[in-house]
Structures are given as structure tokens and as C-alpha cells.
């Protein structure tokens, strides 16, 4: 992973490394502690490496297809617990041409009082928290980062300024 991430720079921009490293990440059911760490932050520190982590089926499909088409190395981190979850798929996402841009967050729930930002499995917890907050009169906006590197800070800034 380290060499793939840096090879473009080590070759003075001559060679790209279009590869996807896909694998489970974070806590999972029935695995020991040594298999449950979240390596997202570590991967974001590799110069030249893109890091994505889907929450839903639409995220997984669109981001994986974009990662495969990307000229640079991409680490595609999946939470194993999400493998057993079901998600609705839009008609658009069912298209064979469906892609999601790497580096673009998604507003999962629009809100006006507070911004909650997350990725991967934790997005589901944040959506549940938003329901609880709503029952207390707080309208939370939930942002699904999808991509950790590059990070869509403009979506976060825009939401924070709004809320």
C-alpha cells in the first residue's frame, strides 16, 4: 500500500498505480480484539492514497466502481457488520453506469440546528441519534463523508455555517 501510494511521486509523475485495496475494517461480530481495530486514520497518512468507506449499498456500488476507474491507488474500507444490513437502492443506483465521485460527501438527512458528521457504520448510529434529537425539538443534519481522503470539507463547512 505504501509503495503504491508513493510511486506516482517517486516516478516524477510518470507512472500511476491504478489499484484498489478492498477489505474489512473496524469492529466485526465474532472476531477477536486483534482483528477489530479501525485503520482508517492510518491510511489517510499515506501521501498519494485515497481512502473511502461506504455506509450503504449505493455508496458501496458507486464508490467501488469509481475506485476501479481511478488512476491512483484507493483503499476501500468496509465494515463487516454492514454486510448483513439491507438498504434501499434508488433506480439511479441500479443503473450499470452508476458512479459516485470520490471526495464528495452526502447529506443523509438535512437539518437546521446541528451538524453530525460520520462515515461507514457510524452513519447509521448518527441517523438514529438524529431521530432522538428530533423528538427533543433539535433538527440535526447528518453528513455521510463516504470519502475520508480526499475529505469533503466544503460540505462540512457549508452545513456547519447553516446549522
Which domains are present in the chain?
Answer: 2-162 (3.40.50.970)
Q: How confident is the model at residue 102, as a pLDDT?
A: 99
Sign of the torsion angle spanned by Cα atoms 28, 25, 141, 62? negative
* pLDDT higher than 90, residue 32: no
Calculate what percentage of the chain has a pLDDT beyond 70.
100
Rounded to the nearest 10 degrees, how much is the dihedral formed by the CA atoms of 81, 87, 90, 92? 10
Residues 1-14 have pLDDT tens digits of 999 999 999 999 99
CA atoms within 13 A on the CB side of 36: 8
Q: Which residues contact 106 (CB under 8 A, 6 or more apart)?
A: 59, 143, 144, 146
Residues 100-144 have pLDDT tens digits of 999 999 999 999 999 999 999 999 999 999 999 999 999 999 999
Tell me the mean pLDDT in the region 28-50: 86
Tell me the mean pLDDT in the region 77-91: 93
Amino acid at each position: 500500500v505504501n509503495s503504491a501510494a508513493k510511486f506516482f511521486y517517486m516516478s516524477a509523475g510518470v507512472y500511476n498505480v491504478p489499484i484498489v485495496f478492498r477489505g474489512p475494517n473496524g469492529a466485526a461480530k465474532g472476531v477477536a480484539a486483534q482483528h477489530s481495530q479501525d485503520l482508517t486514520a492510518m491510511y489517510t497518512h499515506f501521501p498519494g492514497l485515497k481512502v473511502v468507506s461506504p455506509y450503504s449499498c449505493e455508496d458501496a456500488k458507486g464508490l467501488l466502481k469509481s475506485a476501479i476507474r481511478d488512476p491512483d491507488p484507493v483503499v476501500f474500507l468496509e465494515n463487516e457488520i454492514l454486510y448483513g444490513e439491507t438498504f434501499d437502492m434508488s433506480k439511479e443506483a441500479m443503473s450499470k453506469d452508476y458512479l459516485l465521485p470520490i471526495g464528495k460527501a452526502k447529506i443523509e438527512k438535512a437539518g437546521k440546528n446541528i451538524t453530525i458528521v460520520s462515515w461507514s457504520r457510524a452513519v447509521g448510529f448518527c441517523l438514529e441519534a438524529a431521530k432522538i434529537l428530533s423528538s427533543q425539538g433539535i433538527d440535526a443534519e447528518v453528513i455521510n463523508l463516504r470519502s475520508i481522503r480526499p475529505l469533503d470539507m466544503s460540505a462540512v463547512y457549508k452545513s456547519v455555517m447553516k446549522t
